[in-house]
Structure 1
């Protein structure tokens, strides 16, 4: 359980949540027997204002040790990849039979993984053709494609551009040779620079992911990573403090072999504050919880702490208002429509086999008590930095949540006027804890249980999450994990509901 600490202090919560991204709502009733046909025939989309699509490509040339997303080894030209592409195209056609899936124009598309860039140019074009055939693309604003730099070619970039991709995003994670080896990153720094130059000739936006707060990382090493990341010349960067509890044990064995100790969360918070000041002084500005925008030369910084000039549009559909939804395609892909959270078959082999042989695929469905009316306050406000009050259905928002918003304003984490709530610079430091704090008690309990479960993973080491030494800690919690003060008793929700992105 994480608690707000009132008073004039930088340390506004008594511990820090070791998770950064998750879905809302977490709580729901499992519907084990519902088929995709029954579901998409019955969902109500009359209230939906916008929609995005997600495509999961679960293959990588090499497996990074910081990543536990659904992926396996696969290379360009492999038969298994080709079979998966055929299954994915079939899923698009099958879902497109339902008016609830195709009725709305698409605003954003994201290809994630895995490493979607292991696809051949021809496979990219075939998936793109299926999308254009079945969906209204007239209002598409962002089409983002995750890539791994050593698997990208000019031919693949041309195919991506031709199907409408206007943004590529790649993981660099660190330039430090020690951490690159620990992460099992096999692309060279030279390949990274060459890829960024190639991307600039094909796409409007290029973004890179970086991780910080690794065991033993010094501020000098962090500074070097920041400088080299900026020197790549990308328009945006996403920089994440590492989520130790969802990394792989071999990474931690590597730390131990080198005598690298985990950093406390207070130390990582100091790195976050340092990062903010470093990038602001270098001509950058935050555009969401993790993201930074390179400001044009001579540009006057916007008055708001979080930029309004740019945002990751796709992310708005994961951490957004209640009336923006998401349709996912591929093994383990998640959809959030109406009151339902839907996960496709997590097993890539059975997902592919059933689609190719039976024109069918399994789904796991959870249904919430009601529409996610409060999503804009719980997720969007802390992550994107503001919400428009006119877009919040206040008649459906619990009084307790409104009271919490007031307390966050009183503590200087939020500010408000008649039109919106905004995150302050102090609030940005604590945006993850604010997401937790604003969540309903049932969702908090699920997150607590998930963290408690992951803390029992053998071989994973994490730093002290308490905000020491200023806040006293009540009984029950250990140095490595906050106490669960919400009567933990039910089983945790499936880990797939916690979305870690690049961390």
Structure 2
């Protein structure tokens, strides 16, 4: 069992204060796609009708207005990373991305060598366009491959085929030296052999980072309403084991539940999320977590693109909701993120990021260790192999108790 932590400084647990603010990232949401995938529950919207286009210029202006509105909350802070997510951000022109990044650099300076990632889907790849993305300041690309198998791509409703997937990686490798491939496993009708072919192909391409996600049936998706025939839990677990072994053999380090990286190529933007850093989210439906000395707040932007644009054009606030995290929320949310990291986290980081002593979760730490789900001492807390395999069970231990009175 881990030992109780030595006596800690007396803190006001009802209104804990932060001695310093964590790193700050910027997330930029571009909500349009060529086609809505049947498994996707993200805030993404299909561009409907032949010849239809997203309102690029209007949306870029709204994003810049959004950032200007948000400056008061993050004034004077530097950005450690920027991430364009979606939707399919690569649908936008390089000129639009350049305009956004120019405004970002003007309003919130980036740290030297800041990581600037863009999500892209193979159906949107053109060689010159991606060279222009690089020139605009994108230095990391995340490509939504999902599978290299044409049968599984069709089952997932993807707009690209296997040849376009390979072509996309080929174009990316000519323009970027930091590339992530998103893959999914436990797909409709997928065998262990087929899953292995996907991960072996990804590893052989020499990209710096691979994300491998278990397909789950999320509410409000087509797959949830009409469930396909998926591999059972035992088959999915075998696929997960195989992915971990294959990536390790190709010198990728398994550093987070679904993430595998070459040495030094971990996603800095995602690490900031997992270590309970701050992030400002702009764009339709984007979420933010912003720390102040005496509070931590979460915000969400208006979700529907039309409403978001209307608010921006009317020069109104684009934050639809805002709430302050309670002390128990802070503890749970920190653990919910940090325990996704296979190497865990330094014990001192808990107090740095939450304002709370680690002793507030001592009982839960002891229970989790007793059940073999994590190990902890004065210096470090990390999940065991069992804890990583049953992550939801581990996180549930830290859920705040609900007062039913």
TM over 0.5: yes
- Aligned length in residues: 380
Residue 201 of structure 1 deviates from its aligned partner by: 2.8
Q: Distance in 1 between matches of 2:69 and 2:268?
A: 26
| Deviation per residue, 1:33-53 (Å, 9 max, x gap) | xxxxxxxxxxx9873121001
Which residue of structure 2 aligns with residue 372 of structure 1?
330
Q: Mean alpha-carbon deviation: is it higher for 386-395 or for 129-138?
A: 386-395
Cα shift readout 1:21-42 (whole Å, capped 9, x = no counterpart): xxxxxxxxxxxxxxxxxxxxxx
Q: Residue 55 of structure 2 aligns to a residue in which SS?
A: helix
- CA displacement 1:152-189 (0-9 Å, x = unmatched): 33343233323432211011112232221121112122
Aligned residue for 2:172?
199
- What residue in structure 1 maps to residue 304 of structure 2? 347
- Report the CA distance shift for 1:79/1:424 in structure 2 as closer, same or farther (over 3 A): closer
Among residues 366, 371, 374, which one is paired with 1:414 in the alignment? 374
Paired residue for 2:253?
Answer: 285
Change (3 A) 1:179 1:247: farther
1:433 lines up with 2:393 in the alignment: yes
Contact 2:79/2:109 (<8 A) preserved: yes
1:292 Cα deviation from its structure 2 partner: 1.1
Considering Cα pairs closer than 8 Å and 6+ residues apart, tell me whether 1 or 2 has the greater RCO.
1
Structure 1 CA distance, aligned partners of 2:313 and 2:125? 28
Return the offset for 1:389: 1.3
**Cα displacement string for residues 122-179 of structure 1 (whole angstroms, at most 9, x for unaligned residues):** 1111111111110111345321110112213334323332343221101111223222
Aligned to 1:272: 240
Does 2:125 align with 1:125?
Answer: no
The structure-2 alpha-carbon separation of the partners of 1:388 and 1:59, relative to structure 1 and needing over 3 Å to count, comes to same
Shift of residue 209, structure 1, vs aligned partner: 0.8
Q: SS state of the match for residue 84, structure 2? A: strand
- Judge conservation of contact 2:32–2:88 (CA < 8 Å) in 1: yes
Corresponding residue for residue 314 of structure 1 = 269
Give me the whole-angstrom Cα distance separating, in 1, the residues matched to 2:355 and 2:324. 21
Distance 1:69 1:387, change over 3 A: same
Q: Determine the structure 2 residue equivalent to 1:392.
A: 350
Cα distance in 2 for partners of 1:429, 1:276 equals 12
Equivalent pair of 1:67/1:246 in contact (CA under 8 Å): no
The C-alpha deviation readout for 1:185-236, integer Å capped at 9, x for no partner, is 1212222222222222322310111111124322122122222222333111
More strand by share: 2
Decide which of 302, 306, 329 is 2:282's aligned counterpart: 329
Q: For residues 81-130 of structure 1, give each alpha carbon's deviation from its aligned partner in whole angstroms, at most 9, with x where no partner exists.
A: 3321221122122323x2x3231111111110000000011111111111
Matches within 5 A, 1:28-67: 47-67=20-40
SS of residue matched to 1:332: coil
**1:428-464 Cα deviation digits (max 9, x unpaired):** 222343223223234xxxxxxxxxxxxxxxxxxxxxx
Q: Secondary structure at the match of 2:43?
A: coil
CA distance in 1, matches of 2:222, 2:47: 22
The reply to whether residue 423 of structure 1 matches residue 395 of structure 2 is no
Unaligned stretches of 5+ in structure 2? Answer: 1-16
SS in 2 for 1:441: coil
* 1:81 pairs with one of 51, 56, 59: 56
> CA distance change for structure 1 residues 215 and 325 in 2, over 3 Å: closer, same or farther?
same
Provide the rounded CA distance (Å) in 1 between the counterparts of 2:70 and 2:125. Answer: 30
SS in structure 1 of the partner of residue 152 of structure 2: helix
Partner of 2:146: 173
Unpaired runs of at least 5, structure 1: 1-43, 296-308, 443-485, 490-503
Alignment check: 8 A CA contact 1:102 1:136 kept? no
Shift of 1:396: 2.5
Is 1:379–1:435's contact at 8 Å kept on the other side of the alignment?
no
User: Does 2:67 match 1:92?
Assistant: yes
Q: Structure 2 vs 1, CA of residues 60 and 282 (structure 1 numbering), >3 Å: closer, same or farther?
A: same
CA distance in 1, matches of 2:30, 2:311: 17
C-alpha contact (below 8 Å) 1:105/1:139 kept by paired residues: no
1:402 paired with 2:357, answer: no
- Residue 184 of structure 2: SS of its match in structure 1? strand
Which digits, 9 at most, give the CA deviation of each residue in 1:349-401, with x for residues without a partner?
01112212435435212222248255443321333531111222298257573
CA RMSD of aligned residues (A): 2.8
Which moved further from structure 2: 397-406 or 50-59? 397-406
Cα deviation, residue 293, structure 1: 2.0
Q: Is the 8 Å Cα contact of residues 376 and 387 (structure 1) preserved in structure 2? A: no
